[in-house]
Amino acid sequence: MIGKKTMIQLAAVALLASTGWASAKTVCYVTAADSHAYATPANKALEARAKELGVEILSLSQDFDVQKGTEQLNTCVARKVDGIILWPLDPQAYIPGLARAQQANIPAILINSPMSDDAKPYIKSFTGPDVYEEGKLAADSLSKALGGKGSVVIIAGQAGNGTTIGRVTGFTDRLKETNADIKVLDTVNADFDQQKALVVSRDLITRFGDQISGVYANDDTMARGFIDAWKEANPSKAAPPIVGINGQKDAFESIRTNEMYSTIVQSPVEDGRLAINTMAEIIDGKEVKDRLPIPLTVVTKDNVNSVEPAF
Partner 1 sequence: MRFLSLASQYRVVIILGLTLIISALVVPGYFSASTLGLGLDRAATIGLIAIGLTVLLIAGQIDLSGGAVFAVAGIVSVMLQREIGILPAAIVGVLVGTVAGAINGALVVGLKVNSLVLTLATMLIFRSLAHWITNSQPVTGTDIMLSLALAKIYLEIFTIRSALFIVFIVLLHFWLTRTIPGRNVFAVGSNPAAAKESGIASDRIVFLGFVFAGTLAGLAGVLQSLVTNTGSPVFGSELTVAVIAAVVVGGTRLEGGRGSALGTLGGVLTIGSLTIAMEFQSVPAYVQQVVSGLILILLVVLDRAVTTKGRAPGTRPALISDNPVTQGEST
Partner 2 sequence: MSDAAMEISGVKRNDRFTRGSRLVDALSKAGLAFAILAVALYGSVVSPAFFTSGNLLNVLTSMSIVGIVVVGMTFVLVVGGLADLSVPATIACGAILSLGLQPMIGPLPAFVLAVGLAGLIGLLNGVLVGYVGINPIIATLGIGTIGLGIVQAAVGGVIVYGSNPASAEFAKGRLFGIPVVVLIFLVIALIGHFVLSRSFWGRWTLATGGNYSAAEASAVPVQAVKAGAFVITALTAGISGGLLGLTLQSARPLIGAGYEFSAITAVVVGGVSIIGGFGSVPRAIAGLIFVQLLTNVMVLDGVRTPIQGFVLGILIVGAVGMDAALRKRGVA
Q: Of 7-46, which residues contact partner 1 (CB under 8 A)?
A: 7-8, 10-11, 14-15, 18, 33-35
270 by Cβ neighbours in 10 Å (0-12 / 13-18 / 19+) ranks as middle
Judged by CB under 8 A, the residue of 48, 99, 188, 283 near partner 2 is 188
Give yes or no for residue 11 binding partner 2 (CB under 8 A).
no
Nearby residues of 225 by Cβ (< 8 Å), 6 or more positions away:
155, 190, 193, 194, 195, 196, 197, 198, 199, 200, 201, 217
Site string for partner 2, 230-259 (x = CB under 8 A): --xx--------------xxx---------
DSSP character string of 8-33: HHHHHHHHHHHHHTTTSEEEEEEES-
CB 259 within 8 A of CB 242: yes
160 binding partner 1? (CB under 8 A): yes
Distance between CA atoms of residues 277 and 300, nearest Å: 31
> Which residues between 148 and 167 bind partner 2 (CB under 8 A)?
159
- Choosing among partner 2, partner 1, none, which partner's interface includes residue 60 (Cβ < 5 to 8 Å by kind)? partner 1
Q: Does 39 bind partner 2 (CB under 8 A)?
A: yes
- DSSP secondary structure string for all residues of 21-79: TTTSEEEEEEES-SS-TTHHHHHHHHHHHHHHHTEEEEEEE-TT-HHHHHHHHHHHHHT
- Does position 104 interact with partner 1 (CB under 8 A)? The reply is no
Residue 88 identity: P
Residue 288 near residue 278 (C-beta atoms within 8 A): yes
250 binds, among partner 1, partner 2, none (CB under 5 to 8 A by kind): partner 2
Determine the interface stretch with partner 2 among 70-78, 117-125, 166-174, 219-227 (rule: CB under 8 A): 219-227
Residue 311 found at the interface with partner 2 (CB under 8 A)? yes
Q: Is 34 in the site for partner 2 (CB under 8 A)?
A: yes
Count the residues of the shown chain that bind partner 1, applying the rule CB under 8 A.
45
Residue among 24, 51, 104, 118 that touches partner 1 (CB under 8 A): 118
Residues of this chain that bind partner 2 (CB under 8 A): 34-41, 43, 159, 186, 188-189, 193-195, 198-200, 202-204, 206-207, 209, 221, 224-225, 228, 232-233, 248-250, 311
